[in-house]
Amino acid sequence: MVDAIQKKRIALFGSTGSIGTQALEVIRANPGLFEAEILTAQTNAELLIKQALEFNPNAVVIGDEAKYNTVKDALAVTGIKVFAGEAALVEVADFDSYDMMLAGIVGFAGLKPTLKAVEKGKAVGLANKETLVVAGDIVMRKAMENRAPVIPVDSEHSAIFQCLVGEGRNKIEKIILTASGGPFFGRKPNFLVNVKRDHALKHPNWEMGAKISIDSATLMNKGLEMIEAKWLFNLDPDRVQVVIHQQSIIHSMIQFEDGSIKAQMGLPDMKLPIQYAMAFPQRIKNDFPRLDFKKHPSLTFEEPDVKTFRNLALATDALYKAGNMPCILNAANEIAVWAFLHNRIGFLDMTAVVEKTMQHTQFIEKPTLEEYFESDGEARNFAASLIKM
């Protein structure tokens, strides 16, 4: 029952992004169940200040050290602790004062604080897929050693997680990750070569941040999710499948060894998997819009076009090769997406940058954490050299 839920103190890493702002909506709607203990942002000092004044957390971190005084001065009368810089993210992740980290920092930057949280034995609501893409073996091993629950927030992995509840030791034959296909489903290279930033940011079903919107448009997002799923659910690569489901109503499925398939369904709204992760193992009431099947009479499924959207093929290659290859893939992709968003390269150029970086960067079969960081840096430098940034 809801009355039995103990109030949770949430450390919200990435509070000004898409996941963070929606998580704060959930907290705002459930003040008796959740409170914001830590808030962090990279550059959006203005919104971070506004959030801190409303939610009165114990501490805030602004990643951009040049904006430290702005945040500190604005919060001087509140008693809220103010920190700045990348190292401060790890410092506050080491606090004892929170119950759950909601890891919403975009990209590789989320790895260090998330790793610190699992080393502390804290529950992690994981919205940052890159953490497991880069170093999933180390993160999940640390989580197991420290009994730190890792609850996925991505809609697809949340769906798989929800479908597994009550299944105990029943063997998974495969999982089926659904993909909307993005804004360019069905298009061919002669169209994609002319795609501009604003077109790629217009996702047909989801409201998301810029980076994940571009990843969705190239299908890289689904490739990263395949790698994340391998680590979250301890699966061999050949048991992870992707299918295009344009309506985004079925968020993902599991097929068990008896052939039965379980699916989790709902409208495309990230607040639901966010709330589910924060309240787990309970479900709590909300006023989110409900799925009306009369308005969705047709659900369709198709194979992804990996010849046109080659990022998905590259990510699948990285999934099978393993080692530091997913880390290299991710680093190159982050540079390529940044360059595309800043009009430095074209839409199809992003795939070329990733592919060349994967071919160039040294492969390590069983990397240490330090070698993951070195691979990330090497891949970023090479990708940047291709773009002449």
Element (H, E) at 376: helix 369-387
- The C-alpha atoms of residue 135 and residue 268 are separated, in whole angstroms, by 29
- The C-alpha atoms of residue 318 and residue 228 are separated, in whole angstroms, by 12
Identify each DSSP E strand in 203-316 by its residue range.
240-244, 250-256, 261-265
Coil, strand or helix: which one is 48? helix
For Cα atoms 160, 166, 167, give the angle at the middle one, nearest 5 degrees: 70
Q: Are residues 233 and 103 in the same domain?
A: no
Q: Are residues 131 and 14 in the same domain?
A: yes
pLDDT at 4 (0 to 100): 60
Tell me whether residue 160 is exposed, middle or buried, using C-beta atoms within 10 angstroms of its C-beta: 0 to 12, 13 to 18, 19 or more: buried
Q: Are residues 213 and 314 in the same domain?
A: yes
Q: Are residues 140 and 159 in the same domain?
A: no
pLDDT at 1 (0 to 100): 42
- The C-alpha atoms of residue 53 and residue 49 are separated, in whole angstroms, by 6
- What residues form DSSP beta bridges with 174? 255
Q: Which of 95, 119, 152 is the last residue of a domain?
A: 152
For Cα atoms 317, 320, 323, give the angle at the middle one, nearest 5 degrees: 100
- The C-alpha atoms of residue 308 and residue 224 are separated, in whole angstroms, by 17
Q: Are residues 341 and 253 in the same domain?
A: no
- The C-alpha atoms of residue 11 and residue 226 are separated, in whole angstroms, by 27
Q: Which of 152, 176, 191 is the last residue of a domain?
A: 152
Q: Which of 95, 122, 152 is the last residue of a domain?
A: 152
Tell me whether residue 86 is exposed, middle or buried, using C-beta atoms within 10 angstroms of its C-beta: 0 to 12, 13 to 18, 19 or more: middle
DSSP-derived secondary structure for 125-172: EE--THHHHHHHHHHHHHHHHTT--EEE-SHHHHHHHHHHTT-TTPPE
Residue 29 lies in a domain: yes
pLDDT in tens, the chain (389 residues): 444 668 999 999 999 998 999 999 999 999 999 999 999 999 999 999 999 999 999 999 999 999 999 999 999 999 999 999 999 999 999 999 999 999 998 888 889 999 999 999 999 999 988 899 999 999 999 999 999 999 999 999 999 999 999 998 899 999 999 999 989 999 999 999 999 888 888 876 666 778 889 999 999 999 999 999 999 999 999 999 999 999 999 999 999 999 999 999 999 999 999 999 999 999 999 999 999 999 999 999 999 999 999 999 999 999 999 999 999 999 999 999 999 999 999 999 999 999 999 999 999 999 999 999 999 999 999 999 999 75
Domain residues for 142? 2-152
- The C-alpha atoms of residue 176 and residue 124 are separated, in whole angstroms, by 24
Q: Are residues 207 and 348 in the same domain?
A: no
pLDDT at 2 (0 to 100): 45
Residue 277 lies in a domain: no
Domain total in the chain: 3
Q: Are residues 13 and 108 in the same domain?
A: yes
Q: Are residues 179 and 147 in the same domain?
A: no
